[in-house]
Structure 1
Amino acid sequence: MSVKHALLALLETEPMYGYQLRAEFEQRTGETWPLNVGQVYTTLTRLERDGFATGEAENAEGHVIYRITEAGRDEVAAWFTTPVARTQPPRDELAIKLALAVTVPGVDVGTVIQQQRSATMAALQDYTRLKRRAVGADPRELAWSLVLDSLVFGAEAEIRWLDHCEARLRRASREQASGTTTPNAQPVHERAADERTPR
């Protein structure tokens, strides 16, 4: 997540100080990704250093008010119009856990999958309940609703993937029992490279 760009986008709406920025960010995203106020101020210092924001005189309460610069506006515009890169997937703890579980002796992979499916189903139910309450024409309500949509779709996709993993494990177990084995799968990054290479 780009905290830098999120804060710049908020500053584009109006000048704010650190605590205001944190509150605005968390309100608009439903506190899904809480920000540490120290992280906010560290980011503001970098934005000022890079010429994307300026810290102005303190207000009556002693808070430094930050204002976006023209370079900052250009940076936000570029961020909004540039797709999020998928070339380097983020680390997925669950995928790593299952990849290791199938290779470490003594791990009951079926139980790992079942426990995760139960936890993900519970999270999906929570998101769905929250989604019923997140209705309204206010842009902030819409923002929170879109975040919830992302969480719901992500949980649904995770459940489908877990079902797929379970089916693959059953098939591999049957093949092993019958003595038929399939060749090791080619790593995804090698497969992708092969598919890009013209033949």
Structure 2
Amino acid sequence: MSIRHGLLALLEGGPRYGSRLRTEFEARTCGTWPLNIGQVYTTLGRLERDGMVAQDGEDEGGRALYTLTRAGREELRAWFGRPVERASPPRDELAIKLALAVTAPGVDVREVVETQRRHASQALHEHVRQRAQALADSPGHPDELARLLVLEQLICHAEAEIRWLDHCEARVLRLTVTERAEE
């Protein structure tokens, strides 16, 4: 996740202080990727060092306001214009767990799969419920559209995880049947 670019995108809307950036980021992403306030200020410091943002006075509460610079706008436009690289996928704890469970003595891989499938199904139902609520709240507002996009991504991921778990279970069953036939 690019916190750097997320903050630049939020600053496109005008000057903001750090905790407001954090709040807006979490609101637009449904709290799916919470930010530590230290991350926000560290990132703002780096963006300022790199000439992407500048401090622009203080608000009435004495908090430093940050504004987007021309270089920040150019970097933001370039980021929006680039695809997100998929060349090196992030580590996936579930894939690692299943890969190791297959060879671990005494582990019932089918039970590991079923436990995860129940968890993914519960998450899917919750995301679908949240999407229905978002659609009922105010479907035409840009903030709600942002929320819907994140929720729909979560729904697609949960559905894909369930399909993959079904595939894993079928593969384990085929292997078990083959091993029994060879005995």
Stretches of structure 2 lacking an aligned partner (at least 5 in a row): none
Match of 1:54 in 2: 54
Cα shift readout 1:96-142 (whole Å, capped 9, x = no counterpart) = 10011001111111110000000110010000110101121000001
Rounded Cα–Cα distance in structure 2 between residues aligned with 1:58 and 1:10: 17
- Matching of residue 20 in structure 1 with residue 23 in structure 2: no
2:150 equivalent to 1:147 = yes
Residue 186 of structure 1 is matched in structure 2 by none
Tell me, in whole angstroms, the C-alpha distance in 2 between the residues paired with 1:148 and 1:88.
24
Identity %: 56
Q: Residue in 2 aligned with 1:86?
A: 86
Alpha-carbon shift at residue 174 of structure 1 (Å): 1.3
Partner of 1:167: 170
For the aligned residue pairs, the C-alpha RMSD in angstroms reads: 1.0
Between the two proteins, the alignment pairs up a number of residues equal to 180
Q: Secondary structure at the match of 1:16?
A: coil
- The residue type paired with residue 159 of structure 1 is I
2:84 corresponds to which letter in structure 1? V
Task: Measure the CA separation in 2 of the matches of 1:140 and 1:58.
Answer: 26
**What code does the residue aligned with 2:62 have?**
G
1: CA distance between counterparts of 2:126 and 2:103? 33
TM-score by length of 2: 0.96
Q: CA deviation at 1:76?
A: 0.6
Q: 1:141 and 1:153 mapped to 2: Cα distance?
A: 18
**Of the candidates 179, 182, 194, which is equivalent to residue 182 of structure 2?**
179
User: 2:132 matched to 1:129?
Assistant: no
Please identify, of 50-59 and 150-159, the stretch whose mean Cα deviation from structure 2 is larger. 50-59
**Equivalent position of 1:43 in the other structure:** 43
Q: Whose RCO is larger (CA < 8 A, sep 6+)?
A: 2
- In structure 1, runs of 5+ residues without a counterpart are 181-199
Distance 2:15 2:56 in 1: 9
1:174 and 1:109 map into 2 onto residues whose CA distance is 14
Deviating beyond 6 angstroms after TM superposition, the runs of 4 or more aligned structure 1 residues are none
Aligned residue type for 1:105: P
Aligned position for 2:107? 107
TM-score by length of 1: 0.88
CA displacement at 1:179 relative to structure 2: 2.4
